[in-house]
Amino acid sequence: MKALTFRLKEEPPERLDLSPLTPQKLAGMARGDIEKIRVGTSKRGLLVGDVFRLSGSDAGAIVFEGGSARFDRVGAELAEGSVRVAGDVGAQAGRLMSGGTLTVDGIAGPHAGSGMRGGRLEITGDAGDQLGGPLAGEMAGMNGGVLIVRGRAGARAGDRMRRGLIAVLKGAGDYAGCRMIAGTLVVTGGVGDLPGYLMRRGSILLDRAPQNLSPSFVESGAPDISFAAVLDRHLIAEGILRRPLLSKAPRKYGGDNAVLGLGEILFPR
């Protein structure tokens, strides 16, 4: 069967909430019923059929042909199957994912991967601020799964991260890994000011020394070399990196000692 495909007719005149369009929510639905799902967020209340032309029938593999910065919550609560967007998306892509695969062939807005618990989210372009981070009032951000950004991420990537892996391949903004509770954040291409700010636990792995590390981090001796080697092999096997990230004897800084101080930042010598 051909993937269930939503072809964008034209740039939508309002922001859309595309969270109803996931494999588990569309399973068994007739095309006519899918076209009647409301996705608009204004009084206009656009329906799927107003915005997209539908083709294909396999709801386990959903494709959006054409994207928009007004496509909010694409793949939100995804639990199984796959969703691919051939274009850009707006805010909260992949929020609360627990399984499946979401691929964005373009740029993603803020809070991509917020509250993820599982699955794999891959963004081929850049991502906005608060990658994997919590919404206002939430106590934790990403809680599992794998989140890959092939481009650059904005500020506060990995904020309040509890579990899982975030990999950003072309640099991240200020406060990367801030307030981390646990988990692993990998950044190549450099980071902005104060990576790991107020992190309690977890690991931040960089491909170069940060320019402005908080003074409440202290160099803390030799890291666990086996951990670095195993993680390097995993990142290469998963197609995230092409070569090892860390040297055989990377530098390790522990912190943030302004809080619990059990986190670590590693980078090559």
pLDDT in tens, 129-166: 999 999 999 999 999 999 999 999 999 999 999 999 99
Is 152 among the domain residues? yes
Instruction: Indicate whether 54 belongs to any domain.
Output: no
Q: How far apart are CA 121 and CA 116, in angstroms?
A: 9
Residue 28 lies inside a defined structural domain of this protein: no
Of the pLDDT bands very low, low, confident and very high (cuts 50, 70, 90), residue 207 is very high
Confidence of residue 206 (pLDDT cuts 50, 70, 90): very high
User: Looking at the 3D structure of the chain, how many domains does it have?
Assistant: 1
Q: What is the number of residues in the chain?
A: 269
Strands (E), the chain: 3-8, 16-17, 52-55, 58-65, 71-72, 82-86, 98-104, 118-123, 143-149, 163-168, 184-187, 203-206, 218-219, 251-255, 263-267
Task: Choose among 34, 33, 35, 65: nearest CA to 50.
Answer: 35
**24 is a domain residue:** no
Label residues 128-162 b or e (16+ Cβ within 10 Å = b): bbbbbbbeeeeebbbbbbbbbbbbbbbbbbbbbbb
Nearest to 142 by CA among 156, 126, 123: 156
**Distance set, CA 178 to CA 194, 222, 260 (Å):** 8, 23, 13
Q: Does any domain span residue 213? A: yes
CA 136 to chain centre: 17
Tell me whether residue 106 is in a domain: yes
In a domain, 144, yes or no: yes
Structural domain that includes position 80:
67-267
What is the pairing mode between strands 218-219 and 58-65? unpaired
In this prediction, residues 58-63 reach a mean pLDDT of 96
Residue-wise pLDDT tens digits, 72-87: 999 999 999 999 999 9
Q: Is residue 108 part of a domain?
A: yes
